[in-house]
Structures are given as C-alpha cells and as structure tokens.
Amino acid sequence: MVWAESVPRVWRERAKKYRLLGGKCPACGSVVYPHRQVCPYCGSEGLQLVELPRKGRVISYTVIRHPPSDFVGKEPYVVAIVELEGGARVLAQLTDVKPEEVREGMEVEAVFRRYREQSPDGIIEYGIKFRPAH
C-alpha cells in the first residue's frame, strides 16, 4: 500500500530518479545519490548537480521473499546496494538476473524499468534498476 496516492510526489522526483542525478559536495568531495541541498557527511551546502555514471558494482544484496503490500506478487526479487563509479551508492533492484546468480562485487549497469503501481488504477512509478554489465 502506498499511504497516500500522489502524482506530484512522483513527478517532482522524476529527473533524479530517471537520470541518476546526484550531488557532489564542494567541501569534502563526497558524491551522493540523489542530489540534495546538504552533504550528509560534512554538512556543507550547495552540492553541485551531477549526472552519475551508470556503471557500478554490487556491494551487498538480498532476495526479498516477503514483500510489502505494493510489491506483492513480484517476489522473489533482488534489492542491492550498488556502488557507482566515483563512489555514490544507490539502493535499487537488480533485473535480468536470477537471484542465485547474483554475487557481491558483480559489475552492473543502470537500466530504466517499472517499479510499482500506487494502486490498480493509480500512477505507475518508474526508476533505475541494475542488470549485469556486458
């Protein structure tokens, strides 16, 4: 269940979600995803908007077998921490790969995919998933 269905809530995040827009901290150099105003590591403001590399590797992963209500029927699926080239980390689903084939350290690349529907007749939410890199 999505607690309150909302189109604007999806719309306003679209650039960050579809294009992997991150932030680069002018003070400590950290790169974070998604872009935001303040660096979570050093507190500096004015993070530069950067389009992040679309390749990275799996740092850790899990196989979701008991999903929340808005993903019921899609299990099992893999959720992973992906570290992109340059260091930003993204939490995302892996796709085009069987759960048992996933490994820590696996090279992956970003693809545009469907995530969930807010309700049977609600808005469909899209975003980045990662698949094994070629």
- For the CB of residue 87, give the shortest distance to other proteins in the complex, in Å: 10
**Which residue reads 């077998």 in tokens?**
65
Binder of Zn ion out of 25, 58, 78, 90 (CB under 5 A):
25
Helix (H), strand (E) counts: the chain? 2, 8
Binder of Zn ion out of 1, 7, 12, 44 (CB under 5 A):
44
Check residue 89 for interaction with other proteins (CB under 8 A): yes
How far is the C-alpha of 24 from the C-alpha of 26, rounded, in Å?
6
Check residue 86 for interaction with other proteins (CB under 8 A): no
CA angle 20, 22, 25 (to 5 degrees): 165
Residue 71's binding partner, choosing from other proteins, Zn ion, none, with beta-carbon cut-off 5 to 8 A by kind? other proteins
Q: Mention every residue, 6+ apart, whose C-beta is less than 8 A from residue 119.
A: 2, 5
- List interacting residues with other proteins (CB under 8 A): 1, 3, 9, 13, 32-34, 40-41, 59-72, 74, 77, 79-81, 89-93, 99, 104, 115-116, 125, 127
